[in-house]
Amino acid sequence: MSNRPSRRIRAAALALALAALLPMAGLSAARATPSLVVEIDSGKVLLAEEATKPWYPASITKLMTAYVTFRALRAGRLTETTLITVSPLAASQAPSKMGFVPGTRITVDNALKMMLIKSANDIAVVIAEGVGGSVPAFVEEMNQAARDLGMTGSHFANPNGLPDPNNVTTARDLAVLVRAIALEYPEHEQLFRIPAMKIGPAVVRSYNKLIDRYPGADGMKTGFICASGFNLVATAHRGDKRLLAIVLGTNSGKERTEQAALLLERGFNHSWQIFGAVAPTVDSLRNQSGPPTDMRAQVCGGKRKNTASESEDDSGPTPTGFAAAGMGGLGAEVTGASLLQNLPPSMPPVEVFVGPTPDPAALAAAYPPPPQKKTPAKDKKITGAKQVAIPVALPKPGSKSAAKPGTKPETTVMADPTGDAAPAPKPVARPAAAKPAAAKPAAKPAAKPTASAQPKPAAKPAAKPAKPAAQSASQPTIILAPVPAPNPAAAAQ
């Protein structure tokens, strides 16, 4: 009997705690996407908004791929230096990707870094095949791990998060997974905080823009497909307090970064003096059923000015009025953008490579050769261009313009319509060839009458057939060359 009042008090406190986790009515209408803040070590929930709603994880799927790989490493099935091979299936994956050719070999350690920093979809498949033997076998391991962890709202269909209606999770389940990685495999924690990697001369930066910008940020992973919107799982620490924040379905990379920063800040400023030990844990949240929300129309719809992509972090709306329910004390002037700084690099870019050791020749061979540019033939600017021979009027034998013995015959050159070089001047020969030959002989006698009894025009035709050799010597040479394409506008005029 004496325990009943205390039970009632605890029940009332728990109800108050859960009520405090509910979003403000106006905020809920403005934001229909999930967010969650949890203490990593205790599992206490600081904020839960739509945290149990089904959602597409996109590349956050790779956290489960990493978790299953950590299990395999601990079980001794392979080591960090084990070489795994890029298959044709892996090479065929859609971007983001490393782009290695089939047959390229990389260590498990380098593969994990490429997958988590570059978010390389091809490397996720390389890991899946290297660890599980095949993608279907590895995906079964992913789903078994989800069942073992109590991720009741999750099902995985591939190791990289590319669009698949059966690749589903919740913010609550992702928090369970993050805690498992942090608490079970602390030796791999460094993989999630690397700000950039260096492969050959190229430096590839992480899509997680909280690293080296939000004080204390130390991981984890971003994700994006049109159906999911922009997702982010972030971890941070201050002193001995470690938090994780999950933001799903924002409209841009910038928005997810700023919202996560604001959630983390409110979490670090939160006090447990009111609720204490009765605060709900992430495991106590119950997942909802139903299909995942599809953000395609909102995130990738026709009204969007630019094509959405995972690398987008410098455009999109900047939230200014977002506030985490149940956590106050920052002041209305504090926004996610105001919390981001340009901090000194936490570490230099980490070198990754193909093969067992760094080898520039092996790296060069890992990429497909660049497509060769077609070089046009020397005598033609463009292969297959239309060539036209334009006839020119022959000078009359005996006239002043007739070719003298030993002189070179006349040459006519026309230009290619699609050539790169500037075309030869628009041949005045083209109009000259259309009209003159028949008109000139008749016009000359009329213009210059003489007293001679025998007109010149009558004598010349008679002499013409008698001197075929002379005519042949003065015959113009026609060079076939590309002709400039007619201008439709000029033709219309």
| DSSP β-bridge partners for residue 168 | 155
Cβ within 8 Å of residue 15, ≥6 positions away: none
Give the distance from CA 181 to its chain's centroid: 28
Q: Which two tokens stand for residue 108?
A: 């498990």
**SS3 for 14?**
helix
Catalytic status, residue 380: no
Q: Which of 87, 96, 119, 228 is catalytic?
A: 119
Give the distance from CA 212 to its chain's centroid: 23
Q: How far is CA 103 from CA 44, 65, 89, 135, 307, in A?
A: 46, 22, 11, 17, 33
Catalytic status, residue 62: yes
**SS3 for 331?**
coil
Cβ within 8 Å of residue 57, ≥6 positions away: 154, 161, 167, 168, 169, 174, 223, 228, 231
DSSP assigned state of 42 = T
Cα–Cα nearest to 129, from 97, 94, 83: 83
Give the distance from CA 134 to its chain's centroid: 26
Residue with tokens 């591939």: 158
Q: Which of 62, 97, 113, 209 is catalytic?
A: 62
Catalytic status, residue 119: yes
Q: Which of 59, 154, 206, 228 is catalytic?
A: 59
**SS3 for 55?**
strand
The span from the CA of 45 to the CA of 49, in Å, is 11
Is the Cα torsion angle 285, 288, 291, 293 positive or negative in sign? negative
| DSSP β-bridge partners for residue 130 | none
Cβ within 8 Å of residue 386, ≥6 positions away: 416, 417, 482, 483
Catalytic residues: 59, 62, 119
